[in-house]
Amino acid sequence: MNWINNPIKPASASYREQASSRQENLTKPPGSLGELESIAIRLAALQQREQPSLDKVFISIFAADHGIAEEGVSAFPQEVTKAMLSNFIAGGAAINALAKLQGAELEIINVGVKQCDEPFEGLLQQSIAEGTANFSKQAAMSSEQLTSALEVGRQAIERIASQQADVFIAGEMGIANTTSASALACAVLKQPVDKLVGAGTGVNAEGILKKQQVIEDALAFHQSQLNEPLSILQHLGGFEIAAMVGAYIHCGQQGIPVIVDGFISSTAALIALKIQPTLADWLFYGHQSEEAGHQHVLSALAAKPLLNLNMRLGEASGAALAVSILRAACQLHTQMATFEEAGI
């Protein structure tokens, strides 16, 4: 796992300066395009191009089950993870429609779904185990399993790096993964559980209270192991969340910008940044989820989400929508005339 500490690629100061100069000379009042200007400048510096672009978009959905589902913290049974995996493969999920809309390459990865070892055409089988352990009773995964899950994420980026990817998006699927993400965020941020636990897939008020109690008990149970990000991830995380952590870090190492999705993806980003703080330059935040804890995580990250559509679906849906915003920023930056070009 030594690769995880390899340096993050720096953004180009010269391309940032060049892009800033161009923005100041486009036929508009300076700053009038707001965040679209800063997005274009950031992308130019990250991609090290005069003309930043988002032509090649790659989306990876990591799917895994969670042992904590045994505690009844989800509105849906665990079998739904596998059913949704089939739906992704069949092309019937929201992310399939959005990936098609954006012309994005989409891959589906089984990192640890229960009873899903049969071959599916179009499914990448990288299963570590049939879900994590129940973290209310033991560590969610062993150190070896954590290493394997991080490696799944690294390998996803290796596959796209050779294809000159312009941007990467990670999505997730796993019943009870909002419980895992809430526990992780509480442990990292040292925030009260009631601020970071929401409805997830739609549990009622009684269900939210149950989730809170399960998480509080688990945090107390693992308290001595929650002092370092990888240990927190091992004891409270999910295979798909760990895979996203690995993917985000390797994006920074390979020089590939990232659009982060909702609450679970942002929690993975939070952990990745605890490991590699300079990764922050490479992360754009697609949207603010309706999930209760997301605003707290975004605040801790000093993140500016691009959209707020009251979504809480996950599976990379909000980030996929945000591709259009980044593409618009690139189009304005490269296609608008300068005052000199317009003869003004």
Which residues, 6 or more positions from 308, have their beta carbon under 8 angstroms from its beta carbon? 287, 288
In angstroms, rounded to a whole number, what is the distance separating the alpha carbons of residues 236 and 5?
21
In angstroms, rounded to a whole number, what is the distance separating the alpha carbons of residues 89 and 83?
10
In angstroms, rounded to a whole number, what is the distance separating the alpha carbons of residues 128 and 334?
44
Q: Which amino acid is at 185?
A: A
> Can you give the C-alpha Rg of the chain in angstroms?
20
CA angle in degrees (0–180, nearest 5) for 285-286-287: 105
Q: What percent helix, strand, coil does the chain show, rounded to 5?
A: 55, 10, 35
Q: Is residue 71 annotated as a catalytic residue, yes or no? A: no
In angstroms, rounded to a whole number, what is the distance separating the alpha carbons of residues 236 and 242?
10
In angstroms, rounded to a whole number, what is the distance separating the alpha carbons of residues 231 and 220?
15
Q: What is the arrangement of strands in the sheet containing 57-64, beginning at the earlier edge strand?
A: 123-125, 105-112, 57-64, 167-173, 258-260, 283-285
Half-sphere exposure of 271 (CA within 13 A, CB side): 34
In angstroms, rounded to a whole number, what is the distance separating the alpha carbons of residues 210 and 71?
9
Task: Answer left, alpha or beta for residue 84, where phi above 0 means left and psi between -120 and 50 means alpha.
Answer: alpha
Among candidate residues 38, 77, 46, 110, the one with its CA nearest the CA of residue 251: 46
SS3 of 193, please?
helix
Q: Which of 37, 151, 240, 315 is catalytic?
A: 315
In angstroms, rounded to a whole number, what is the distance separating the alpha carbons of residues 191 and 28?
44
Q: Annotated catalytic sites, by residue?
A: 315
